[in-house]
Amino acid sequence: MNNTIKQNKTTDPSETLKNIEGKELTASTVPCSARPLHFDDSLCIGCNSCARACQCDLLVPSQEKGRHPIVMYPGECMYCGACVMECPIEGAIRLQHPLINQSKFVPVIRQK
């Protein structure tokens, strides 16, 4: 396969694009009404397996080594559970549907 990477050479001549090239980018947490993920700091080893498994890419690796990823975009969670399924430490990450989506169960009624 013929692979070439031309770093920082753009086909767009616009000045504005040049202002962004190579600059340090940022990300801002976007809060929402739900808290899909809970990390247990005492168990999490900061391996970022959950961030790699997340299809919605709502987790961003922490800058601090060994720390759990930052839940940058919690509203984008589709509650698939891939993050928990790929986590090597049981209990380090917990996924929970928002309160509106927790359905009710009751003891069965035994028929006479």
User: Binding another protein by CB under 8 A: which of 38, 43, 55, 89?
Assistant: 55
| Nearest of 58, 47, 53, 106 to residue 84 by alpha carbon | 53
**Binders of another protein in range 11-50 (CB under 8 A):** 11-12, 14, 16-34
Query: How many residues of this chain interact with another protein, rule: CB under 8 A?
Result: 70
User: Binding another protein by CB under 8 A: which of 41, 45, 81, 89?
Assistant: 81
Strand (E) or helix (H) holding 86: helix 82-86
Q: How far apart are CA 73 and CA 29, in angstroms?
A: 6
Q: How far apart are CA 23 and CA 88, in angstroms?
A: 35
Our finding on whether 65 is near another protein (CB under 8 A) is no
| Nearest of 79, 73, 72, 75 to residue 94 by alpha carbon | 79
User: Binding another protein by CB under 8 A: which of 38, 53, 68, 92?
Assistant: 53
What is the contact surface with another protein in residues (CB under 8 A)? 1-12, 14, 16-34, 52-58, 60-61, 63, 70, 72-73, 75-82, 84-86, 95-98, 101, 103-111
